[in-house]
Amino acid sequence: MRKSKFIKSTIILLIGGFLTKVLGMILKIILTRNIGTKTLGLYMMIMPTFNLFITLSQGGFPVSISKLVSEDKGNNKKIVFSSIFMSLILTFILMILVIFISPIIANMLHNNDLKIPIMCIGFTLPFISISSIVRGYFFGKENMLPHVISNTFEQVLRIVIYMLILPIIIDYGQIFTINFIILTNILSETLSIIILYFFLPKKIKINKEYIKPDFEVMKDILNISIPTTGSRVIGTIGYFFEPIILTTFLLMNGYTNNFITYEYGVLTGYVMPLLLMPSFFSMAISQATIPVISNGYVNNKIEYIKRKIKQSLSISFIIGLIFTILLIIFPEFCMKFIYDTNEGINYIRVLAPFFLLYYIQGPLVSVMQALNMSKDAFNSTLIGIFIKIFLMIVLSYMHIGIYTLIIPTIINIIYVTLFNIIKVKKIFK
């Protein structure tokens, strides 16, 4: 029963992930072809900040809910409502923080025009956080259909907005366009929450007993979420400092701000999304893996867990391998078809082979979370970030342009993946 449920959940997530990725590709085509490389470069400069605050606002609650609901040890309503209560307090604090520190971050990025777009990030956080919490509940129940349907409608809404309104917005300038793109998240996440609500059990009655936060439940949630968030926060903090360090040190070594923004836009706006395309498979497998392995670990089904780990890693690797071969052989076609540009083809050829390891990172980290190894995942991420930042600073003095970022990215992928593999193998010995 459990096996068939896992397979069903994984298949639904794979189909949904593929559909979402196709819609995401259409979205990316519309976006990049409308706004151009310069505006894309500016937008990508603040994406690390956006990702950092999304991670902070979620607080690791989706993983906590998924784990607690799958173990079926408490009242699911109290788990969800307690998470929402904590999330709303956290997002309110973060909204105020973003508004106050936006001039500082813009200054660190050596572009004061980015102050308002960074402020806009704060207004999207409550919607993104609540949406992810409700998704966490469905993952815990191993019911992946609501997530897939809400994601699909979310992407369709973005496509419609970008097709109809974005061409008009562009006339108002680069910064106004970036503000619009960021604030679109409010509409798409609101639609997602509404759709997810209709999939909740019909018998749920919202009363004071459940709305009132339960401190014991909150403690259980935080015991899982804090270590989980620690690992993700370290990763996003490293990503947050990436454009800041890159810009600062390349400017010191004679490169212009326009060159840095343009090349960073090409690498992170064109090349990375293309390389990350197969990650929806590994993400789907990761999301389906957490409740299954968590439940198996609680019930001491060691051989069953080992089999599921091998399956998730093997599937992720094989899919990644197929995609990597296509990218290495036909990089020009892929870039021209999706983005209508040949920019960044050389970067793809260099990075693609190493992303084979990246494709199994998601399932590995999910396995570590399910096995209560969040501390090890945190350590690997932390050391990997330090290695990456150190190499970026050193390589910036060698005058190799954007390869100042590409080479440390490769080293980081190799280190983090191998570290996690060794730790997971060690626990079963």
CB proximity list for 331: less than 8 A, separation 6 or greater:
345, 348, 349, 352
Let me know: does 143 contact 135? Beta carbons within 8 Å: no
User: What is the pTM for the complete model shown?
Assistant: 0.78
403-420: b (≥16 Cβ within 10 Å) or e:
bbbbbbbbebbebbbebb
Residue with tokens 């979420």: 225
Backbone φ, ψ for residue 167 (5° rounding): -60, -30
Query: Would you say how long the chain is, in residues?
Result: 429
Q: What is the mean pLDDT, run by run of 10 residues, along the chain of 429 residues?
A: 59 71 81 85 90 86 78 70 84 93 91 92 92 83 80 90 90 91 93 87 59 70 72 79 91 89 89 82 68 71 77 82 88 83 88 90 79 79 90 93 94 92 81
pLDDT value for 161: 92
pLDDT value for 7: 64
pLDDT value for 334: 83
pLDDT value for 205: 58
CB proximity list for 421: less than 8 A, separation 6 or greater:
364
